[in-house]
Amino acid sequence: MAQHAELSRSQAATLIANGNVTVNGGREKASYRPVIGDVIGVEFPEPVARELAGESIPLTVVYEDEFLLVIDKPAGMVVHPAPGNWSGTLVNALIGRGSELPASADSDRPGIVHRLDKETSGLLIVAKTDRAHRILGSALAARRVHRRYAVMIWGHLAEDTLSVDRPVARDPRDRKRMAIVSTGRQAKTDFVRLARFESGDLLRAHLHTGRTHQIRVHLASVGHPVVGDDTYGGGGGRRIAGLPPRRHFLHAAWLVFAHPITGAPMDIRSPLPEDLRRSLSAFAEGSGLAEVEDPLAALGFYD
């Protein structure tokens, strides 16, 4: 049931325990082993509406007007409330600062145009009006919002460029992870090597699609997981990487898109945060990168 309904095992067990699941019209325990021909019915209860609370959480706003704002999200912050994270999110912070957010958008994700993983830092667009939200959502779907990420991987690519076009979906063996699954949604990422160090490569990643954990899953699938990524095999060697616990080297550093109302070209950049600069210095020891004001610019990230 967890596999076919895209639920965690605990969520499936809760539904069964609460009587929301039938087998051939009757009730069975969670330990029941289905046989061929069984018809399993699942009734999902109506979600309980939650009122989002504003919280006084500092945010780094790199651009704002009456239609949208762009946030430089720190690592460790969840974007929107969800089970296990009903507070301390970016949405709570936006409400707390009094930001105008579109009322017609998803009630738990007002104004959120796209997301970043909890431990991924960098640029994220938030719409402030219904019209801006619709236009930005359409532009994202049509791949007119260009997102570039700085990412450090373990090991070395065989070539300076790599394109990974593999479908991504929930891992059927672990619902908390994503995986390359033949029946998953199409996902494509282009990578360009900016620098090669003894233990790994610094890459620029270009998202063509925006699947959950896409960059991390694609890199793990080719044997070069993101440095510091505990979920997909890159969590070892933190002493070499100079990274704190639960932090991976992935930063949304560059956004290019047309303003949803004026059409003006938007080119917004975010330098590496301090923790990733320290990690880059650890990888590039003796190269002089630690003294450069903007290592990404020096390495041609924005070319």
Burial of 40 (0-12, 13-18, 19+ CB in 10 A): middle
What residues have CB less than 8 Å from 187, skipping those under 6 apart? 165, 166, 167, 168, 208, 209, 211, 214, 217, 218
Backbone angles phi, psi at 168, to 5 degrees: -120, 140
C-alpha distance from residue 11 to each of 14, 17, 20, 62, 88 (Å): 5, 10, 11, 38, 23
CA dihedral 224, 227, 228, 230 (to 10 degrees): 0
Location of structure tokens 């908390």: 176
Cα–Cα distance for residue pair 200/153, rounded to 1 Å: 5
Element (H, E) at 92: helix 90-96
Backbone angles phi, psi at 281, to 5 degrees: -65, -35
CB 273 within 8 A of CB 75: yes
**One of 38, 65, 72, 117 is an active-site residue; which one?**
117
* DSSP-assigned letters across all residues of 41-82: EE-PPPPPP-PPPP------EEEE-SSEEEEEEPTT--SS-B
Task: Reply yes or no on whether 117 is catalytic.
Answer: yes
Tell me the helix, strand and coil percentages in the chain, rounded to 5: 20, 30, 50
**Amino acid identity at 122:** G
Backbone angles phi, psi at 135, to 5 degrees: -65, -45
Please identify every residue annotated as catalytic: 117
